[in-house]
Chains A and B, each alone.
Chain A
Amino acid sequence: MEDQLRSIVDRAHEAARTASDVAALTSVESTFLGKKGELTLLLRGLGALPKEERPAFGKLVNEAKVRLEQMLADRSRDLESVALEAALGGDGFDPTEPGLEVAHGSLHPITQITRELVRVFEGLGFAVARGPEVEFEHFNFDALNIPASHPARDTQDTFWLSDGNLLRTHTSPVQVRAMERFGAPLRVIAPGRCFRNEAVDATHEHTFYQMEGLMIDRDISVANLIHVMKTCLREILGREVRIRLRPGFFPFVEPGFELDVHDPFGTGEDRWLELLPCGMVHPNVLRAGGLDPEEWTGFAFGLGLQRLVMIRYGITDIRDFTGGDLRFLEQFGRV
């Protein structure tokens, strides 16, 4: 009977090993372990053995049964896995086929550059301030050391309003508003919309965007201005830059400068690009903001935002900014 058991076990294992799919394995199971399976019948025929041999042989058959069941289970898992792998192949999948389009929005490029500048300057400890676009003549001119007879009032081509106010010609009025509101020491930037009565063409706009910067403290110097400008331009342009200051005239600063950047596009070109006007805040402006120029000094600068965006993206027509054309706006969807 032991021979019989060995023979059954050998055949059963052989059949399980060679079963090529789950169906064949199921038939192996019923042949050996089913109700009329060979191993089942063998167990049932145990009664024919002498009483003292029954426990030992019964144990053998049971162990064989457990081993066989385990083997069938393992084999079944293997076959299922093979069948799944086989099913994964092909069926015409095209990895280049794009997904469904998601309707996504965009922020205006001026908004984006403003956010970037705000991030840089907040990192340097500058707060963000704002002022109205319809502004008092006082803040736009008088408080900035531009009295009524000053030629700068002509060159600024101001839009005057029927109520005697004006559309601000620069973000500089925020300098005095911020001094009044926060006092000194003071570190602020003020991005915003400005207006000048200029004919519109590819490089000129009557509506434009500036960012004012102002730092006031005890003993602020030209050397400090150079340091802060170098630091912020390194952040904005993403690399170390050479800058230079040269004389420039603006009524609300003294001394006043034009700031040039060397090789602005990082192309290795030996060229200086005029980037922004800046200077030491004029004592009359400090006074207008309620500060004593003997106690406080400071510097101010102005940055043209359209210009910065145009340089960055190679935009050639300034009119695109206010055209409201989706074909333009959609190009700036990157976060």
Chain B
Amino acid sequence: MLLSLRWLSRYVDSSDLDASRIADDLTMATAEVEGIEVSGEALRDIVVGHVVECGKHPDADKLSLTKIDDGSGELLQVVCGAPNVAQGQRIAFCRVGVNVPVDGKKLKKGKIRGLESLGMICSARELGLSEDHTGILVLDTEAAPGTRLTDVLPLSDTLIEIDNKSVTHRPDLWGHYGFARELAAIYRRPLKDALEGLRLDVPSRGDTVPIAIDASRGACSRYCGVVVRDVVIGPSPDWMQQLLVAIGARPRNNIVDLTNWLQFDLGQPTHAFDLDRLAGPRIDVRFASVGESITTLDGEARTLTTNDLLICDGNGPVALAGVMGGEGSMVEEGTTSVLLESANFDAATVRRTSMRLGLRTDSSARFEKSLDPALADLTARKFLAMLPEVAPGARVVGPIVDPASWAYEPRHVHLRLPRVSSLLGVAIDEPAARGFLEPLGFTLREKGYGSFDVTIPSWRATKDIAIEEDLVEEIGRCFRYDAIEPVAPRAPVEALHRDPELALDDSVRTVCAYDLGLHEVYNYSFLDDALCERLGLADLPYVKVTNAIASHLSRIRRDVLPSLLGSVTHNFRGRDDVALFELGNGYRPESPGESRAFADQDGDMRERQLPLEVHQLAALRVVRGDEHPYRRLRGDFETLLARLGVHAADVRVPTTEEAAMLPWMHPARTAVFVGKAGEVLGYVGDVHPRTVRALELDFAVRKGPTGGAAACCLDLRACLRAPTVAPRYVPVPRFPSQPVDLAFLVDDTVRAGDVGRLIEDANPKFVRRHQLFEVYRGKGLPEGKKSLNFRVELGSDKRTLNAEDEERYLDRIRNLCRERGFELRG
């Protein structure tokens, strides 16, 4: 929204204040200023010219050939097409090489019907001053040729651009008058009345149009209508056109310009109907019926719903209330009788209609802020009072019809100065409070002990000032927040509550990045349909977005790993390995999460439920190269568990049901880690060959040429619930360890974990550590067999072990092997 300083100065004297100061003060006390513009910039190089000679163009009837004195000392020959050019006139002259204000294009030397033309005599439209292009602008001045036009005409204006978002809560600030009130309060200057200097004669009886309001849903609290006859449509006064042009509005004709001007003046939209084109004539304010439609001023036919409020005449809809007028009844050339509408429409109703139709107008933008209904009558009266100047000859032929009989029931708010002082952190006394509040229209009545009964003016009572804190804001902004000295809070010293899940997240991230060497990725919570299809996940249940950013992004992910898999392919350009991790949430619609009861709009308690939220770590390694990354990632996973102190009670392959929910994992080459109660802590394994191919990572299919893909997932909430293993001191062994290498030849189906247990069981007292360092299959071994090669450290707390001890231990191993059908090699 643009504010014109010339416009503001109609209501508050601000001639001695420069624009940047006003902009700073408004920013600090009222609303955000986005910038300052000086209008008339485009006119900087336009000068006053004197028409020294004026004759006919020899080869064209409608053209004049003139000699212009532009103060340069040389008379310039200029061809002019305007009918009103005459010798002796002072005119606005655009020299060759100067930009024409209306379009900013540089004026070139011209040749018109064979004669050279060295400049242009401008019309008001060419100057960007109004729409008038009927002739050149003749200046009422004796100024010397060459004088700047802006020194002669009051054209220059300074515009302050207000960020509309910063005044959404201030229905009183959608016109110049509201801002003038703010300036008056800021600079402690008198504010002129909105009708000052205007005389108003409205007959108490006469010609009216009946108005009926269907107020059943409170959608129209007020509708003022008044009839004006003997209107002559023509241009509006220059000053009005100039102000409208300055703030970016296009002048049209006197009646439309006046309604527009009032909208930017008082903030109240009004609408002028051509009375002769209203059937009845009568006005009905009602909601649309099913299937009804209207063609709006912009020529669009619009189908309506029963929530759209209409202005109708005897035949049907003539305007979308508060949004836009209809095509058939607009004021235009030839209109002689006008019905002025100045009404108040419900904010939510206007907003709903304007949003649904995608039709946002200056009018709807104002109504949806909840305008003060008092403005409707004030604006109608100002319209009538200005008519004599804007449309000379027009007659107000009857009273203002205002059937809703709305009256402001003043709102009161209790204000306690001690509370104000305590909330702001500065002492505010009564003179200060009055000094801030009264210029804004509030009245204070003392109730004793520093408390007051504050009456709220009507223009601040709609969705704005309702509670004491709102008045604290009024006082605070007038005092200036930047004038408040910082004060350290007095607060007790207390131990911080530390959220164990956040602490766990933090450790997991540190280990993954700085210990395991993985890179952290953030993926969207939305699962792309294309990825979902590729990975074969489309049949799983998802929480869905009803208004997705794009139709393929409606699914909320269940698991983090699929998104992470989606980050692999594009990273493989120019690389041989990708190692990533991500912490995030997944949502499971089939499982209940947090459940709460909340009061709905009618105050009834309603049960609400969130889907189950899972909190996961996902990580993966994909390599081109000789070795499949499974064992590496398995090591990462085990390291992570060890760092976190999480102990898995068992490791197994997934059940059929589990595998079905993890279709991206190899069902037979995935290790599921489970806790004591059988709960799943996480899993690590090969990525499913189908997934690998779907991601176009064919090199990573096991038994493919080279390389591979492995992935893992840790359920962080399950880890939090699992008992953790704290480090415990064990004395450093005094007697040396004795390493023994053992190679077990076993069937392919035998699990390394079982062999490990056998190694321990053979002598739990002597086995200090054991480690599987190689799994060998192939050459030299029978089909279906593998060799599990362990390094075992034997040792005792009591003495150094000797050869006999080792031999006894090996005997036990051999016996156990015989029982299980294993063979100890070498």
Q: Which residues of A contact B (CB under 8 A)?
A: 102-108, 110-111, 115, 122, 125-130, 132-138, 142, 148-149, 151, 154-155, 159-165, 167, 182, 185, 187, 193, 195, 197-200, 206-207, 215, 217, 219-224, 226-228, 230, 244-249, 254-258, 280, 282-283, 297, 321-322, 324-326, 329-330, 335
Contact = CB atoms under 8 A, between A and B. Distances in A.
Nearest to A280: B423
Contact of A325 (B490, B499, B570): B570
A133 B348 CA distance: 29
A197 B438 CA distance: 42
A127 B499 CA distance: 8
A227 B580 contact: no
A151 B522 contact: no
16 contacts: A125-B494, A127-B499, A128-B499, A132-B594, A132-B610, A161-B545, A165-B608, A195-B525, A197-B549, A207-B525, A219-B490, A224-B487, A247-B473, A254-B467, A254-B473, A256-B473
Contacts of B566: 324
A324 B580 contact: yes
A12 to B, nearest CB: 49
Contact of A283 (B467, B570, B609): B467
A324 B565 CA distance: 11
B815 interface: no
B351 A245 contact: no
Nearest to B501: A130
Contacts of B489: 215, 217, 220, 224, 227-228
B166 interface: yes
Interface string B497-520: 111011000100100111011111
A148 B602 CA distance: 12
A19 B731 CA distance: 55
Given A125-B494, A247-B31, A133 B546 contact: no
Majority DSSP secondary structure for residues of A touching B:
mixed
Nearest to A106: B519
Q: Which 10 A-B pairs have the closest CB atoms?
A: A223-B425, A221-B425, A324-B567, A255-B473, A245-B481, A227-B486, A105-B513, A223-B487, A254-B469, A224-B489
Interface residues of B, number: 93
Given A136-B610, A195-B525, A326-B578, A107 B520 contact: yes
A36 B23 CA distance: 111
Contacts of B484: 222-223, 226, 245
Contact of B547 (A130, A197, A324): A197
A161 B514 contact: no
Given A148-B601, A324-B571, A133 B520 contact: no
Contacts of B477: 247, 255
A137 B29 CA distance: 33
Contact of B514 (A104, A110, A125): A104
Nearest to A221: B425
A297 B423 contact: yes
B513 A106 contact: yes
B469 A246 contact: no
Most buried by B among A155, A215, A244: A244
B543 A122 contact: no
Contacts of B556: 134, 161, 167
B549 A206 contact: yes
B471 to A, nearest CB: 10
Given A122-B496, A248-B166, A167 B525 contact: yes
Contacts of A111: 509, 520
B571 A326 contact: yes
B476 A255 contact: yes
A322 B522 contact: yes
A125 B522 contact: no
A105 B426 contact: no
A280 B469 contact: yes
A106 B520 contact: yes
A162 B610 CA distance: 11
B27 to A, nearest CB: 6
B425 A222 contact: yes
B28 interface: yes
A199 B548 CA distance: 11
A244 B482 contact: yes
A151 B368 contact: yes
Contacts of B575: 326
B608 A136 contact: yes
Contact of A246 (B168, B482, B488, B496): B482
A197 B490 CA distance: 41
Interface in B549-605: 549, 556, 564, 566-567, 570-571, 575, 577-581, 585, 587, 589, 593-594, 596, 598, 601
B514 A227 contact: no
Contacts of B598: 136, 138, 142
Contact of B571 (A167, A185, A325): A325
B472 interface: yes
A220 to B, nearest CB: 6
A130 B424 contact: no
